[in-house]
Amino acid sequence: MNKIYTPPPNDWKEILRRPTQTVEDIEATVIDIFKEVNQKGDAAVAKYTSIFDGVTLKSNRVSSLEIDQAIDALDQEVKAAIQLAKNNIEKFHKAQQTGRITVETTPGVSCWQEKRPIQKVGLYIPGGTAPLFSTILMLAIPAKIAGCKEIVLCTPPSKEGAVNPAIIYAAQVCGVTRIYKVGGIQAIAAMTFGTETIPQVYKIFGPGNQFVTVAKQLATKYGVAIDMPAGPSELLVVADDTADAAFVASDLLSQAEHGTDSQVILVSTSRNLITAVEKEIQEQMSTLSRKRIAQKAIDNSKLIYVEDDATALALIDEYGPEHFIICMENEDFYVNGIQNAGSVFIGNYTPESAGDYASGTNHTLPTNGYAKQYSGVSLDSFLKSMTFQKISEEGIKNIGNAIEVMAAAEGLGAHKNAVTLRLDKIKKATS
C-alpha cells in the first residue's frame, strides 16, 4: 500500500482520487448498446450476453423448474444464514415505515402527505467474480415492504447458462416476481426500455462495475430513475492505538477482495498502527482465495498518517467514503462529526461485513464521493411521497387574497382568475 505522512490539504484531492475510468472512456460503449437494445430488444440482449458472458440461452428468464432445483440444491446452512439476515433486514426496514402526516395550515386548509410504492422496480445483482445474493436481501426486502407490485431481477448467467442457487433462493424468499439471466449494460438497457420478455421498470437499483454505473446514469435520460451512482466498493478506516491491527487489516482486505478497482484507505494518528496494519495485510493476504484481486486493489489503496483528530475528520469528509469504520479512543468525535459517509461502523467489534450481510442496515450505498449528496438505499427509496390538500370555503377566503396578489405579481393572470372566480361566487352567495 502507498504510505503517506501528514499530507497538506492542497494535496488531498489528488491523494484521495479513486482508481476508476472516466465516464468518457465508457460512455460510447454504453450508448451503442442502449441504442441496439432499444431497437432490437431481446435479440440485442442475446447478442451481448453471448459476447460478454460467453453463453447463448434458449430463454433468458429463470424457469419455475430452475427455481425449484436451486432451492433443493442450496446448502441448509446457507439457507439458515439467509433467513437470519432476512429477519434482521426486515426489522430495520419495517421500523422506517411512517403514516400519513396531516396539517391544517390555515383554518379550512387541510394538507397531508402519504407515501405510495413505486409500482415497477428493477434490481441488478452482480454475478461475475462473486454472486452477490446478499444484495437481493438489501433490495427486494424493502421493495416488498414498500408494496412494489413488480420486482424484476437481472443477474449475469454463468458460461453454463445458470444462475447461482443462492441468488435464486434469496430472490424467491424475498418476493422477487421475475428473474432474468441478463447482466451488464444490456440488463440496464433492457429494464430501461423493456423488451419482448423483460418488462420496463420505473426505477433501477443495485451496484455493479463502472460500465453498469454509467449505464444506470444513462437510463435516467430515458425517464427511468436510479437509486444512486454506485460503482466499485470502497472502505475508509480511521484508527489509533486502541484499534486491533489484525481487525483493521481484515476489514481493509474484506473490501479489497470485491474487485481490482476497489479502494481501501486507512487514516491513522498512529505511525505504529500503520506499520502493524501493513504487516497484517501481507500476512492475511496469503490466505485469501481472492488474493490476486485483493492485491490489485491494495495497490490502489493508501495508508495515511495525520497528526490529530480534526485533520483526520476533515480529510475523511473530503473523501466521503461508502463505508466508514471508526476504531478510535475518541470515537464520539467522529460519530458526531462525520458529514459524508454512506454507512458508519463503530468500534473494534463492528466489522463492515456485518452491514454487508446480517446486522440489518442496507449495504447498497453511494460510492465515488457521492456520499456527499446521496443516501444509501432505505425503505423510502422504494416509495414516493404524494401531497394532498382540501380547501373549504372558509379556507379559500383565508388564503385567496394572498394567492391573487402573488399571481398578479408574477404576471400569471389565469392563476389569479382561478381564485377570483371562487371568491366572487362565495360573495354572491352570502350577499
Binding-site entries for Zn(2+): 255, 258, 356, 415
CB-side exposure of 407: number of CA atoms within 13 Å? 15
E-state strands within 254-322: 263-268, 302-305
Q: By CB neighbour count within 10 A (0-12 exposed, 13-18 middle, 19+ buried), where does 134 fall?
A: buried
The Cα–Cα gap between 312 and 335 comes to: 13
Binding-site entries for NAD(+): 124, 186, 209
323 is catalytic: yes
Binding-site entries for substrate: 233, 255, 258, 323, 356, 410, 415
Binding-site entries: 124, 186, 209, 233, 255, 258, 323, 356, 410, 415
Q: DSSP string covering 145-174, please?
A: HHT-SEEEEEE---TTS---HHHHHHHHHT
> In degrees to the nearest 10, what's the CA dihedral of 392, 394, 399, 401?
120
The Cα–Cα gap between 49 and 182 comes to: 7
* List 257, 280, 322, 352, catalytic entry: 322
* List 234, 257, 323, 352, catalytic entry: 323
93 is catalytic: no
Tell me whether strands 178-181 and 150-155 are parallel, antiparallel or unpaired: parallel
Sorted by sequence, the CB contacts under 8 Å of residue 13 that are 6+ apart come out as: 318
User: Which contacts qualify for 58-65: CB closer than 8 Å, 24 or more apart?
Assistant: 59/197, 60/180, 60/181, 60/182, 60/197, 60/198, 61/178, 61/179, 61/180, 61/181, 61/197, 62/163, 62/168, 62/179, 62/180, 62/181
Tell me whether strands 109-117 and 101-106 are parallel, antiparallel or unpaired: antiparallel
The Cα–Cα gap between 220 and 204 comes to: 9
Residues annotated as part of the active site: 322-323
